[in-house]
């Protein structure tokens, strides 16, 4: 019991973070996810929208060759190339294009230089505006996500907190090269298509995120809060026949129902002969990334999450020469 009490005490004192002065916004990490591609291209021509009082965010087209060909990637999924192993292995001319590019991006935008990484993605799934993070250690990005959700009254799309929850040392994602980070997933949007609604939602989210960072840098304190988040439990593959071919498809009743509770016994797949396959889990879960085009090759039909409540401590700026709050 003592340790739990201690945690609560630590949680109740504000977390202090140093100013966020260098911010990068990646678009086109996947070359056919067009909201980020379009925004990054626009901001590279005219970055005025990214200026704030306390900093100026930099746009970057993460995978320019994939953008040019309007494909997800050339040799390998760039957003799976940021493992410690890949980044620290010796360079070779024969490395896949995305491995070379991952090292390059890490050198230019890594946490030794950049404080905050936004990574802009689209999904073909009905995921609304999903605020995706890889851990609950990054208090600043949790406050940023909360700020986006609080401001989402202006947005046309619902806004969800999403957590993959993997140790930073095991991360393979671009966003983790930053000290703080947030990945935005906006959908549904087909690959290769620019939908005006998805574009404006993503743009609003980014601008709102930059506003938050600016307020934080100016010393605004953000109180503690409790929030719901969807935490990844497991990935579910399509049923397959003996040759490995997909033998059943996402059920009509599940299609487009991302974040809608899935109960034991609900249909999840339907075979080509019209047979329904039911969810045989024992608890209510929340399916996400349902029928995402890019996940067929990853053998993922959807990703199950649980809805958890999370208490986030208050946040304030660490003043130069000041220490992290715990010992005060």
Which residues of the chain form contacts with its own copies (CB under 8 A)? 38, 41-42, 70, 124, 188, 190-197, 199, 245-246, 249-252, 255, 270, 272, 291-294, 296-297
Beta carbon of residue 162, minimum distance to its own copies (angstroms, whole number): 21
Beta carbon of residue 83, minimum distance to its own copies (angstroms, whole number): 26
Give CA torsion, residues 198, 36, 142, 108, to 10 deg: 180
Cβ distance to its own copies smaller for residue 68 or 137: 68
According to DSSP, the residues that pair with 305 across neighbouring strands are 232, 286
Beta carbon of residue 290, minimum distance to its own copies (angstroms, whole number): 10
Q: Tokens standing for 226?
A: 């409790």
Cβ distance to its own copies smaller for residue 298 or 311: 298
Cβ distance to its own copies smaller for residue 48 or 309: 48
Q: What is the largest CA-CA distance in the chain?
A: 69
How many of the other CB atoms lie within 10 Å of CB of 215? 17
Q: Tokens standing for 182?
A: 């947030």
Beta carbon of residue 49, minimum distance to its own copies (angstroms, whole number): 10
Q: Which helix (H) or strand (E) holds 200?
A: helix 196-217
Secondary structure class of 2 (helix, strand, coil): helix
b (16+ CB within 10 A) / e for 46-63: eeeebebeebebbbbbbb
Cβ distance to its own copies smaller for residue 78 or 199: 199
Cβ distance to its own copies smaller for residue 3 or 243: 243
Q: What phi and psi values does residue 60 have, to the nearest 5 degrees? A: -150, 130
Strands 302-312 and 225-236: antiparallel
Beta carbon of residue 198, minimum distance to its own copies (angstroms, whole number): 10
Cβ distance to its own copies smaller for residue 124 or 161: 124
Beta carbon of residue 272, minimum distance to its own copies (angstroms, whole number): 5
Give the span between the Cα atoms of 61 and 31, in whole angstroms. Answer: 9
């Amino acid at each position: 019991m003592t340790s739990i009490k201690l945690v609560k005490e630590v949680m109740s004192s504000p977390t202090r973070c140093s100013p966020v002065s260098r911010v990068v916004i990646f678009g086109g990490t996947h070359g056919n996810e067009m909201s980020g591609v379009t925004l990054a291209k626009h901001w590279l021509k005219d970055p005025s929208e990214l200026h704030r009082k306390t900093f100026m965010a930099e746009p970057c087209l993460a995978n320019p060759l994939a953008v040019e060909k309007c494909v997800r990637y050339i040799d390998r999924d760039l957003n799976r190339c940021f493992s410690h192993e890949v980044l620290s292995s010796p360079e070779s001319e024969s490395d896949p294009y995305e491995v070379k590019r991952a090292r390059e991006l890490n050198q230019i935008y890594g946490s030794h230089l950049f404080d905050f990484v936004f990574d802009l993605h689209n999904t073909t799934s009905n995921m609304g505006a999903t605020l995706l993070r890889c851990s609950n250690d990054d208090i600043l990005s949790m406050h940023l996500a909360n700020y986006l959700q609080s401001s989402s009254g202006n947005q046309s799309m619902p806004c969800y907190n999403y957590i993959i929850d993997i140790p930073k040392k095991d991360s393979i994602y671009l966003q983790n090269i930053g000290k703080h980070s947030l990945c935005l997933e906006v959908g549904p949007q087909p690959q290769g298509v620019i939908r005006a609604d998805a574009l404006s939602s993503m743009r609003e989210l980014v601008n709102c995120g930059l506003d938050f960072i600016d307020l934080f840098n100016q010393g605004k304190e953000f109180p503690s809060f409790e929030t719901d988040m969807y935490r990844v439990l497991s990935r579910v593959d399509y049923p397959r026949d003996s040759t490995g071919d997909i033998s059943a498809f996402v059920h009509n009743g599940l299609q487009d129902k991302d974040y809608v509770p899935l109960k034991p016994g609900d249909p999840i797949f339907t075979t080509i002969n019209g047979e329904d396959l039911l969810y045989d889990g024992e608890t209510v879960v929340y399916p996400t990334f349902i029928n995402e085009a890019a996940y067929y090759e990853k053998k993922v039909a959807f990703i199950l999450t649980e809805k958890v409540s999370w208490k986030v401590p208050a946040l304030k700026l660490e003043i130069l020469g000041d220490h992290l709050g715990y010992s005060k």
